[in-house]
Amino acid sequence: MNIEKIKSDFPLLSRKVNGKQLVYLDSAATSQKPKQVISAITNYYENHNANVHRGVHKLSEEATEAYEGSRKKIADFVNAKANEMIFTRNATEGINLVAQSLGFRKGDEIVSSVMEHHSNIVPWQMLKSRGVTTRFADIDEDGILKMDDYENLITKKTKLIAVTHVSNVLGTINNVKKIAKIAHDAGALLLVDAAQSVPHMPVDVRNIEADFLVFSGHKMLGPTGIGCLYGRSELLDAMPPFMGGGDMIKDVKLEGTIYNDVPYKFEAGTPHIAGAVGLGAAVDYLVKIGMKNVHEHEKKLVNFATTELQITETYGNAPENGGIVAFNVHGLHSHDVASMLDENGIAVRSGHHCAQPLMKRLGIVSAARASFYVYNDEEDITKLSASLKDIINLLKRKKVV
């Protein structure tokens, strides 16, 4: 991978922050966008802007072709069929769609985990009003899911296991294929939150045997406001629509409505057409690099960062990690650390990262987080480490005074 060439594709990375060259280490929150994606969106609005599926004029045909072409690209990217790929606003909406449409009933049980993003906890907790119970698998001291917990938590009432593929705090890569077998052996389904895996490593929905899988476009070089829900076609066919309105219908009469086929049944109203086009361009960009190359690059960066950040307290020690390192500087709140790094043009995340149960499990309130992507290199991590050393030395001097 030619990182300098890749960096040159990202206009925002050339700017300065507080007079310093920007070092962007917050891709787990949202990735930057290459000029190829920006150009694809601009081209759509300048040359093809129209509503999809509903018009017979040329522009509508072109917009529909671009929209559905992106769906096919994105489906191929994770080895799904086009009719199994539903466009949503983000991964969160995909999880909520499943929560509301899968047909949970009183007495049903869901198994999640303590390392989940709030998006994979709260939607299941909201089903409590229907009499649905949510249970949580724990992690060990290395930040690895306790597989025995699944065996102990699953009962005949378990309808679904919901698990993250890669922790957005610890970077732990979970063995979702093994969890799929546990779920299926118990007669339950598996939903995978792949928001932190699809952008960073090869993901094959058929290989991991996921029943549902969600991800967000803005974390994988695409625009905000577009995401995807993969679902096995027989499950989606049996589920009622999430929302009602235009385009999700075949026939509407005052006496009742006949719903459209999957995936359109779940895409009410005018969709985010430009977002789908942009996400399709992002997939093209990632395919050109190669997802194995992306994953190997990030593994090297994480190994380098783990060594460089030994001056801090880091969290998670799984044998396989995604491109994420969470850390704290003793004596400083993570927000203070992030603010001081920002003064040097270094952008990291701070706070609870929408994972408060995990923070509690780790015995902390918050953490700073550096997350890497295709446009990062070892020099970025060296700058982070040097800046952290300056912060720690400043803290020591203040304590002496």
**Which positions are annotated as active-site residues?**
354
For 98, the enclosing helix (H) or strand (E) is helix 91-101
Identify whether the C-beta of residue 228 lies closer than 8 Å to the C-beta of residue 221: no
For 69, list phi and psi in degrees, rounded to 5. Answer: -65, -40
CB atoms within 10 A of CB 109: 20
Coil, helix or strand at residue 139: strand
Cα separation, 73 vs 10, in Å, equals 22
Coil, helix or strand at residue 146: coil
Strands (E), 308-389: 313-315, 324-328, 346-347, 349-351, 367-371
- Helices of type H across 255-328: 273-289, 291-308
- Token duo for residue 363: 């015995």
Number of H helices, E strands in the chain: 13, 17
Identify whether the C-beta of residue 63 lies closer than 8 Å to the C-beta of residue 201: no
For 395, the enclosing helix (H) or strand (E) is helix 378-400
Cα separation, 278 vs 86, in Å, equals 16
Coil, helix or strand at residue 110: strand
Q: 258 - beta bridge partners?
A: 251
Cα separation, 233 vs 49, in Å, equals 30
Cα separation, 186 vs 195, in Å, equals 26
Cα separation, 365 vs 333, in Å, equals 9
Between strands 367-371 and 324-328, the pairing is antiparallel
Q: Which of 109, 115, 189 is nearest to 146 (CA)?
A: 115
334 Cα distance to chain centroid = 22
